[in-house]
Amino acid sequence: MVAVVNFIAMGNYQARKIEQKWQKVWKASNLYKVDLDMAENGGGKKYYNLVMFPYPSGDKLHVGHWYNFGPADSWGRYKRMQGYNVFEPMGFDSFGLPAENYAIKSGVHPRESTTKNVEYMVKQLSEMGAMYDWDKTVTTSESSYYKWTQWVFLQLYKRGLAYKKKSPVNWCPGCQTVLANEQAQDGTCERCNSEVEHRDLTQWFFKIRDYAEDLLDHSELDWPEKTKAMQKHWIGKSTGIDITYKVEGTDDSISVYTTRPDTNFGATFVVVAPESEFVERNFDKFEDSAAVQVYIDKARKKTDIERIAEGRKKTGQFTGLYAINQLTDKKMPIYVSDFVLAHVGTGCVVGVPGHDIRDFEFAIEKGLEVIRVVVGKDGDETPIVRPEQVQEHEGTMINSQFLDGMDIHEATVKIMDYMEEKGYGKRVTNYKLRDWSISRQRYWGAPIPIVYCEKCGEVPIPEDQLPVELPMDIDFELKGDGKSPLYHSESFRKTKCPSCSGDAEREVDTMDTFLCSSWYYLRYPCSKMTDKPFDKAVVDEWLPVDMYIGGPEHACMHLLYARFVNMALHDMGHVGFKEPFKRLVHQGMVTKDGAKMSKSKGNVVSPDEFVEKYGSDVFRMYLMFMGPFVDGGDWNDKGITGIARFVDRFWTVVNSDEKVEDEALLNKNLNKLIKKISEDIEKMHFNVAVAALMEFVNFVMKNGIDKESKKIMVQLISPIAPHLAEECWEVLGKKFSVIDSGWPEYDKEAVIDSTVKIGIQINGKVRGEIEIGKDASQEDAISAAKALANVAKYLKEGEVVKEIYVPGRIVGFVIK
């Protein structure tokens, strides 16, 4: 093609200046404020576009935030252009350990450092030019917010979903705080990496287990399959049976939980957890109680993780007691061993060494009998002496009296029926999910709204007396006495009972920040309300959240807690919807040199210098262009100039004379572009959407463009580069604002190519190419292919045994 249109570089696009200009205009015109009262607003289609709110850390925003927030905002803009009434709020999850640890180190009060960080991050976020409605923001550490977090606690309390219990908990010596099991996953503190210890403390818990079944139901949710699977694993439902065995020579009995009762004819021993009630109850009856005590003491010093760290070698102490297996009348020795955990199942396990690898290892260690009761696919019936022989989760029963010859699944049902009939078995459902520990021995969190009165005992603060204010007079020096910081604030701790006005002490623990983040999506639309946390009519109109975007690391914690809290509020009638997040998308992680960015590694990349140099549009587009949104990637700034060049070219095209070489081709390419961008954004494939825009600009640089096409081109780039689009829109003399100009539709006829280029294959090898009508007949295609010299050459070499023609795809010849 001859380049008839000469595009002369007309000076660079002044990104910074133009972006600041529009940010001011957008703000002044309240462009992104959403009228939440939809009935009054003529009732548009609502769209709640939410991104997980950031923690205001001292690092401020890093490129990972931009990677996350930029496309999320582009998604919201795309929805707005489609005519939705888009609500896109932003806030701060501002309670939490880092601010407190910083206070301990530096003496700077968390309120001060947090406020400073929030202010700076608001500035950074504003420079991004997202559609955030700052009138509807939340900051969880402000009393106007945490007042209602306390309200949420009280609702759960009233509903019977909050309770206290003394239990062994993970204690982090570094943070001087309790961690939920979920937060201490590899034996070290998730936040400070200290080795986790065990300690007994009285804690507040939420009964999330009561909602295990509801949480297991993902049927209403448009979520990644992976996330649903992770939650399912985390909840860990299993169906099995509690079997009760008599203990020889006592009146006591012992209950074990098993999912494999089919193997019970092979049971040869019983193991109980050191912390189990059975041990407590029968301690005096043990043959060598002193030895058992020594073993228990040793085990209790270990964390669950340390029990694992010892590898596969099993230890245990014989109690001297025997349980009787009713099926075989066998005496099964009872051991105490730390590979059994008290809080799982009944805290007692029946040992079937032939068909459970851990039981096998224990049996080998203790010289116990191993019986084979299942024959696997290999037909091996020899005695089990090697660990590899144990792996049998399918097969046929043997040595099991009336079960012999049955498939194990059939046998499982049969034996359960039998045991229930005989009265020593009871079918039960078990969940791995543990109740949610919400007490934190920390200062920087929402106080738990409970007092302990000498007369009345535990008394909840009446709702009209909220908030329980977090006191400012606090000494951040670690006392090392294990007490919560608030314990040392006399002004806080000493109080009067709301019920009898007598002397009382406040609960000095604060609440897990996951509680703050479990309901914030309800607060956003109602952030200014002072008399209630949210208005039911408003949240019922705007929720559930239509699109929720955040990291996959929250799959099992935040996303379960939020669902639980919402479900509980739903059951109490506070909200009319059960699930808070209808659609969920996880962005990928941005790493630096392959490692997760963190202050401790010193590899945090700030967006500021890039925004300063190239502007927000270029920076966000570059992050989108890196690859698929869900993949993430390793950060480097090598290619950013390519995006900057593209923006200049785009700007040049918009400002160029309107002269077109090939109008029909322009029309076709433009319609194809509309189709492509729409489909790509719909799939969140922003990288290929940007590529398509580049391709179109490259084409237009050669072919020229008319005014109407410029207009559409600007609309198409608008979600991706909002400032650029707004400026171009003005240049084109269009009415403010481009975002309310609608999303272009393509002409279905125009995108169809009448001719296509297809390859010619001979025995699967490409030997040429023809351009032919889209719906050309087989005859025409074959003869056109044969006419090619290079094709004819090969066809002469043998006999054509087959001719293949797939319209629009390929012509093929098979020759011999």
| Near RNA in 693-752, by CB under 7 A | 694-695, 698, 701-702
Looking at the Cβ atoms of 320 and 633, the one nearer to RNA is: 633
Pairing of β 457-460 and β 450-453: antiparallel
Q: Which of residues 256-275 bind RNA (CB under 7 A)?
A: 257-260, 273
Smallest distance from RNA to CB 786, Å: 15
Of the candidate spans 231-239, 438-446, 496-504, 716-724, the one that interacts with RNA by CB under 7 A turns out to be: 231-239
Q: For residues 275 and 280, give the distance between their C-alpha atoms in angstroms, rounded to a whole number.
A: 8
Applying CB under 7 A, among 55, 204, 339, 542 the residue interacting with RNA is 339
**Is position 765 an interface residue for RNA (rule: CB under 7 A)?**
yes
β strands within 449-583, DSSP E:
450-453, 457-460, 494-496, 503-506, 510-511, 547-550
Q: Which of residues 777-816 bind RNA (CB under 7 A)?
A: 790, 802, 804, 806, 809-810, 812, 814
- Assess contact for 730 and 31: CB atoms under 8 A: no
Q: For residues 24 and 562, give the distance between their C-alpha atoms in angstroms, rounded to a whole number.
A: 36
DSSP 303-319: -HHHHHHTTT----EEE
DSSP 753-796: -SEEEEEEEETTEEEEEEEEETT--HHHHHHHHHTSHHHHHHHT
Of the candidate spans 152-160, 302-310, 474-482, 735-743, the one that interacts with RNA by CB under 7 A turns out to be: 302-310
Applying CB under 7 A, among 334, 688, 721, 724 the residue interacting with RNA is 688
Q: At residue 430, what is the residue type?
A: N
Applying CB under 7 A, among 71, 129, 347, 722 the residue interacting with RNA is 347
Looking at the Cβ atoms of 126 and 430, the one nearer to RNA is: 430
Smallest distance from RNA to CB 586, Å: 10
Q: Which residues contact 251 (CB under 8 A, 6 or more apart)?
A: none
Integer-rounded Cα radius of gyration of the chain: 34
**Is position 409 an interface residue for RNA (rule: CB under 7 A)?**
no
Q: For residues 260 and 249, give the distance between their C-alpha atoms in angstroms, rounded to a whole number.
A: 27
β strands within 43-115, DSSP E:
46-51, 85-87
- With b for 16 or more beta-carbon neighbours within 10 A and e for fewer, the 165-197 pattern comes to eebebbbbeebbbbbbebbbeebbbbbbebebe
Q: Which of residues 31-70 bind RNA (CB under 7 A)?
A: none
Can you tell me which residue has the tokens 């795309």? 78
Residues that contact RNA, how many (by CB under 7 A): 89
Applying CB under 7 A, among 207, 331, 358, 570 the residue interacting with RNA is 358
Of the candidate spans 51-59, 71-79, 420-428, 761-769, the one that interacts with RNA by CB under 7 A turns out to be: 761-769
**Is position 365 an interface residue for RNA (rule: CB under 7 A)?**
no
**Is position 216 an interface residue for RNA (rule: CB under 7 A)?**
no
Looking at the Cβ atoms of 30 and 238, the one nearer to RNA is: 238
Smallest distance from RNA to CB 478, Å: 29
Q: For residues 513 and 482, give the distance between their C-alpha atoms in angstroms, rounded to a whole number.
A: 20
Q: Which of residues 237-256 bind RNA (CB under 7 A)?
A: 238, 240
**Is position 29 an interface residue for RNA (rule: CB under 7 A)?**
no
Can you tell me which residue has the tokens 């694992």? 308
**Is position 627 an interface residue for RNA (rule: CB under 7 A)?**
yes
Q: Which of residues 575-614 bind RNA (CB under 7 A)?
A: 594, 596
- Assess contact for 205 and 168: CB atoms under 8 A: no
- Assess contact for 333 and 270: CB atoms under 8 A: yes
* Helix, coil or strand: residue 585: strand
**Is position 374 an interface residue for RNA (rule: CB under 7 A)?**
no
Q: Which of residues 643-682 bind RNA (CB under 7 A)?
A: 643-646, 648-649
**Is position 168 an interface residue for RNA (rule: CB under 7 A)?**
no
Sheet holding 46-51, edge to edge: 85-87, 46-51, 547-550, 584-586
Looking at the Cβ atoms of 353 and 467, the one nearer to RNA is: 353
Looking at the Cβ atoms of 44 and 642, the one nearer to RNA is: 642
Smallest distance from RNA to CB 127, Å: 23
Site string for RNA, 425-464 (x = CB under 7 A): -----x-x--------------------------------
Q: For residues 49 and 92, give the distance between their C-alpha atoms in angstroms, rounded to a whole number.
A: 16
Q: For residues 322 and 272, give the distance between their C-alpha atoms in angstroms, rounded to a whole number.
A: 12
Smallest distance from RNA to CB 124, Å: 24
Looking at the Cβ atoms of 41 and 636, the one nearer to RNA is: 636
Smallest distance from RNA to CB 422, Å: 19
Applying CB under 7 A, among 350, 403, 474, 539 the residue interacting with RNA is 350
**Is position 81 an interface residue for RNA (rule: CB under 7 A)?**
no
Site string for RNA, 306-335 (x = CB under 7 A): -xx-xxx-x---------------------
**Is position 185 an interface residue for RNA (rule: CB under 7 A)?**
yes
Residue 148: closest CA among 140, 160, 159: 140
- Assess contact for 59 and 99: CB atoms under 8 A: no
Q: For residues 621 and 606, give the distance between their C-alpha atoms in angstroms, rounded to a whole number.
A: 16
Residue 492: closest CA among 515, 509, 508, 511: 508
